[in-house]
Amino acid sequence: MGQFVVPQFIDVESKIFGPITVRQFVISLFGGLFVVIAYKSFDTGLFIISFLLIAVAVFAFGFLKVNGRPFHKFLASFFTAISRPGVRVWKPGIYEKHDSASKIEDYKRIARQEVSEDEGLTKSRLQELTLIVDTGGMYRAEDDK
């Protein structure tokens, strides 16, 4: 079997002008384009304000890193974390909306099952009941089949 060279440092972007990467250069070009458009479109006061906003955005998206990650990836993760709940709450009626009538009846039958006094709630039985509830009654135990 032949030997292959394994690439090293694949997370390092290639540089084109000194310490500037391709991504940073393209972001700077677009920022410069927006500055020229703002210069042609606005008066002096509004141009200065727009120039400062564009410069901050170019610096943040091009050069700023938060915890070693580029700012745009940090921003995407931030909005994802805000939009999704951190705690998932189980709502027992959710399966009734999506399952067919026979599956609903099976789910209700399984949910009504009582654990007998002699069996008790062992760890494996509790895991099995959790799996039944989580799958909405689709999972069947080995002895129920």
Handedness of CA 53, 56, 60, 61 (dihedral sign): positive
pTM of the complete model beyond 0.85: no
- Give pLDDT, residue 38: 95
Confidence of residue 87 (pLDDT cuts 50, 70, 90): confident
- Indicate whether 28 pLDDT > 90: yes
| Dist. CA 8–CA 114, nearest whole Å | 58
Q: Which of 116, 139, 145 is nearest to 127 (CA)?
A: 139
Q: HSE of 32 in the Cβ direction (CA atoms, 13 Å)?
A: 6
In tens, the pLDDT along 39-81 reads 999 999 999 999 999 999 999 999 999 988 889 999 999 999 8
pLDDT, average across residues 105-121: 58
